[in-house]
Structures are given as structure tokens and as C-alpha cells.
Structure 1
Amino acid sequence: MRYAVSLPPFTDAARVVAWAREAEAAGFDGVFLWDHVQWRGRVAPLDPWVMLGAVALATTRVRLGTLVTPLSRRRPVVVAKQLATLDHLSDGRAVLGVGLGAPADRDFSDLGEEADARVRAAMLDEGLELIDSLLRGPTSFAGKHHRVEADLLPRPVQRPRPPVWVGGVVPNRRPLERARRWDGVVPVGSPHDPTPDELARYLALDGEQPREGWDVVAHHRRGVPAQEYADAGATWLVGSASPASAGWEDEIEDLLRRGPGAA
């Protein structure tokens, strides 16, 4: 089992970088950032890709990426360039987490972006195919949403590309099927993240067996032993806090003090 923190970059930029340093010093294996343009109320998100560049230069060991980037409201060519650049800045530590994203109004329709979940899912699939091709070599791509002729250099440090993890809301089966085509799954829940039992049932939905190196990135519910998630199939356990809570910054700092795997 590996351990990570998922930080909402909804506070002072220097504080986010300091949290990342603290996470690495505490023994966490990954630092990931939420990806939002807007959120609820007056919360002010920073851009995660800019922040990840700063975090890459402030750390030496932890895996870095987004949990998760809604690919339908970002240009895949730009994401491919950002991901390759982050991989170089971090000396091969980048991960791309993707999903449909939320909320559909504040982060999509209010910004003039596609809000329909089915259309966004189709855009996600096409965008992943394009990013994969761009990071591997010269690309000639013609899809419903994107037409690209490109040879993006430099290639990423990790070959053929950094890992791709796909987020999905439990118990929806389609995100799991999408994730099987890539390098891992990030199951989330509504209104709460999956328990170990719910995680195990979700992973069994399609009858597939996880292949070697395929990651299951579970969110850690406070008070539940890490071993229960490992027994359910998790390979990563991620701690976080929701900015919907007035004391969320204190929760993050408490998480960092308690260290990896603390129940």
C-alpha cells in the first residue's frame, strides 16, 4: 500500500507548497491536487498545474498529479504538454488523474463548457486517446471533438507516458470499465467515499481481475484501518478534507501530523 494526500489548492499558494513538503517529510508517497475553476460559494481555487510545477521543485520523491482533471473542459494537447513538462520538472514523478468533474453548473455550464455528463464522458474518452498518442510520438488524429497533427517534444521522462488514473462515482459501472483500459481507478462516492466493503463490491462489478501494476486509489475514511482497504483491493490510500467544512485547513494539517495510514 502507498499513501497520499489530495490537497484542495483553495488557499494561499505558499501554504499548498508547504503542505507538499510536509507530506513528503512525513513519509507520504504522493501529493495530488484538486482541479477546479470555480467551486461552491466564495472558495477561490488556484490552478493545479501551475501549483504542481511549484510542488515539483519543492519535493524530490513523492508522486505528483491531479485528482482529478475534468478533461472535457481542458484542451488535450495542452494537458499533454503540461503533463510532459511536469514529468520533466519532477524527474519522472507525474501522474494524470482524470474524470468527468463537478459541479456541472459552477465548473461547466456557468463557464460556457459542456455540462451534459454523457457528452463529457465521450470527450473524456477521446481526449485520453489523443493524450496517449501525443505522449508516445507523432500524432495524426481526427475525432468528433478534436483534430490534431502534432509531434510534441520533449517526450515525457516516463515511457511510454506517465500513468493515467480514471475517477468514477461508485456504483457506476461505466467509469470502472473506462479505468480498466488505463492504469488505475479512483473510486469516489456520493454523498460519502466508499467503505472497504463498498470498494470491494465495486471492483467486482465487471468480473475483471486487476492486472499487474493496475492501481486502485481509495479515499481514506477517518477511523477505518488501512488494512481493510488493502484487503478490499486498494493499492493507494488517499487522505483529504473538503473545503465545505469551515475547519478544512486544520484537517489537512492534522492529517499531515498523523502521517501515512493513520486511522
Structure 2
Amino acid sequence: MSTLRSAVWVPLFDELAEPAAVVRLAAFAEEHGWGGFFVWDHVRWRAPVTALADPWTTLAAVAAATTTLRIGPMVSALPRRRPQVVARQSVTLDRLSSGRLVMGAGLGSDRFGEELSRFGEETDDRARAAMLDDAIAILRTAWSGEPVRHTSPWCTIDDVRFLPRPVHGTIPLWTAGFPGRRRPLERAARADGFVPVNLEHPDELAAAVARISGLRDASGTGGTPYDVAVPLPADADLAAFAAAGATWWLTDVDPHTLTLDEVRGVIRDGPFQ
């Protein structure tokens, strides 16, 4: 059975769109022994949600108010962000937090808030998949301190070094995807962690973990640290998912009804033991 760490995972919506309140929640989570504090990254969401906060600004405040929590956007839709800006933001936040940043990355979706189509972003899944892979490659090189040279239809970076480097030389990158689909699992195998989307059963997780492990073994990276972060409600059989390969539990909540008091209650009940 994997050792299961616990992270508060919340959307920055409505009551949680107030950054000062979110900072207090993060400090409260640290006091109660939680291992991480991750936030959703969105610019729009469907009704009844009306207010949203920016994740990077909020996480900077969280970093300054905490000392042990792993923090990060979980996950950020990199195809709608400029990778050179994310390179600067991520390292700044990593250094501000003394190396506690985890970078979550995914395709994004137009399904829940039309946050692609309403802003003229790319809505084709295949195109965004290519953009995501490009962005990940750019970030990896940027974090290494080596010059970034990249030309594609959506991004040009002409021989630019990104300094300073992250505290630990790089930043852990977890990719999100459906556990039964080939390409997301292949992408996850090249990353440092996997966040399965719409996971329904521990057996489904075990199959995905086995596939990722096989790919990592074949590439020669099987012996390096790897995380599997599973969004689950607090009443789920967390032990069963840990046995299937989960290393992190992310608190899955209803974004349409979530309140500060509800999050405080989840934190107060404590992390998985």
C-alpha cells in the first residue's frame, strides 16, 4: 500500500474568491497536519458561480503564510497560458515558497464555463494536446536554466534563458487526464505525477498506475519518485485507493455549493491517517 498524503483542494469560487480567506484556510490546514494546499485554475465557471480569484496571486499569499504545505495550481490549463509567463510565475512562486511548488498541468475544457470559447482560445482537443506537450517541454527546459528555443504555430521563444532556477533545480509536474486513455497515460509517464480525472473505482486506478509504471520502466525512469494524486470526497474508501497506487488524496468538493465553513470542517476532520 502506498503512503497516502492529504491535500486540501479547492476552487477559488464565490466565498473562496476572497484571497485573504483562502490564506487563512491554508494556515489552518497546515496547523491540522495536512500535507498540501492546491487550488483550481479557472477564469470562468458556469452559474451559479459568479466570483473567481486568480490562483497565482492567491498562492503567492499562501506561500508567504505557510512553511510546510506543498502548494500549486491543480491543474492549470497550459494551452490557454503563455509558457514564457508561466515559466516566470512558477519559479517565482517556487522560490517564494522555498521549493514547495507542484505544477499541475492539463488540457483544460470548455465544458464547465466556456472559458476557452468565450475568450477566443483553442477549443480543439487535439490542438490543445499538442500545445500542452509543447508547454511542458518549454517549462522543463526553462527550469533547467538552459536556453529555450521553440517555434510552433502558437509559440515562439528565440534563445532565451530563464533565471533564476527553481530551488531544487526543477519543479514537480503532475499531468491530468482520463485514466483509460492512452495518450494522457503516456504524457503522465513522462511527468512526475498523474491526476486522474473522473476516477470511479480503485481497480480503474490500479490499471492506470500499472500502465504508467510499465511505460516508466521501459523509458528507464521507473526508479525515480512518482506521485498519483486522486481527487476523492472525504467519505470515499481512501485506503482502497492507496492500495491501488494513490500517493495523494485531494479533497473533492462540489464547486457550486462550497462554503468556507464546509472547507474548515473538512480541514478540521483532519488528513487521512
Q: What TM-score results when the alignment is normalised by the length of structure 2? A: 0.88
**Which residue of 2 is the match for residue 237 of structure 1?**
249
**Which residue of 1 is the match for residue 219 of structure 2?**
none
Please say if 1:222 is aligned against 2:234. Answer: yes
**Which residue of 2 is the match for residue 203 of structure 1?**
209
**Which residue of 1 is the match for residue 132 of structure 2?**
124
**Which residue of 1 is the match for residue 39 of structure 2?**
33
Between the aligned partners of 1:209 and 1:73, the Cα distance in structure 2 is 28
Farther off after superposition, 79-88 or 40-49: 40-49
Cα distance, 1:205 vs structure 2: 4.3
Between the aligned partners of 2:213 and 2:70, the Cα distance in structure 1 is 30
**Which residue of 1 is the match for residue 119 of structure 2?**
111
Segments of 4+ in structure 1 off by > 4 A?
Answer: none
Contact in 2 for aligned 1:39/1:103 (Cα 8 Å) = no
| Paired AA for residue 66 in structure 2 | T
Structure 2, unpaired ranges of 5+: 217-221
Please say if 1:150 is aligned against 2:160. Answer: yes
Between the aligned partners of 2:215 and 2:163, the Cα distance in structure 1 is 36
1:26-175 to 2 correspondences below 5 Å: 26-41=32-47, 42-104=49-111, 106-144=114-152, 145-148=154-157, 149-159=159-169, 161-175=170-184
Between the aligned partners of 1:203 and 1:65, the Cα distance in structure 2 is 22
Between the aligned partners of 2:143 and 2:59, the Cα distance in structure 1 is 19
| Paired AA for residue 153 in structure 1 | L
1:100-159 deviation per Cα after TM superposition (whole angstroms, max 9, x unaligned): 112356210111111111111100000100111111113241232322121112111121
Between the aligned partners of 2:133 and 2:105, the Cα distance in structure 1 is 10
Q: How large is the RMSD of aligned CA atoms in angstroms?
A: 1.8
Cα distance, 1:16 vs structure 2: 0.9
Between the aligned partners of 1:172 and 1:195, the Cα distance in structure 2 is 15
**Which residue of 2 is the match for residue 260 of structure 1?**
271
Contact in 2 for aligned 1:170/1:194 (Cα 8 Å) = no
Between the aligned partners of 1:2 and 1:83, the Cα distance in structure 2 is 23
1:189-226 deviation per Cα after TM superposition (whole angstroms, max 9, x unaligned): 0xxx4322221123234671663311111112332332
Contact in 1 for aligned 2:186/2:215 (Cα 8 Å) = no
Please say if 1:178 is aligned against 2:160. Answer: no
Percent of aligned pairs with the same amino acid = 42
Q: 1:23 to 1:109 in 2, by over 3 A?
A: same
Q: Which has the higher contact order (CA 8 A, sep 6+)?
A: 2
Contact in 1 for aligned 2:189/2:215 (Cα 8 Å) = no
Q: 1:169 to 1:248 in 2, by over 3 A?
A: farther
**Which residue of 2 is the match for residue 213 of structure 1?**
225
Between the aligned partners of 1:109 and 1:151, the Cα distance in structure 2 is 33
Q: How many residues align?
A: 257
Structure 1, unpaired ranges of 5+: none
Cα distance, 1:248 vs structure 2: 4.4
Between the aligned partners of 1:58 and 1:140, the Cα distance in structure 2 is 33
Farther off after superposition, 56-65 or 213-222: 213-222
Between the aligned partners of 2:207 and 2:79, the Cα distance in structure 1 is 29
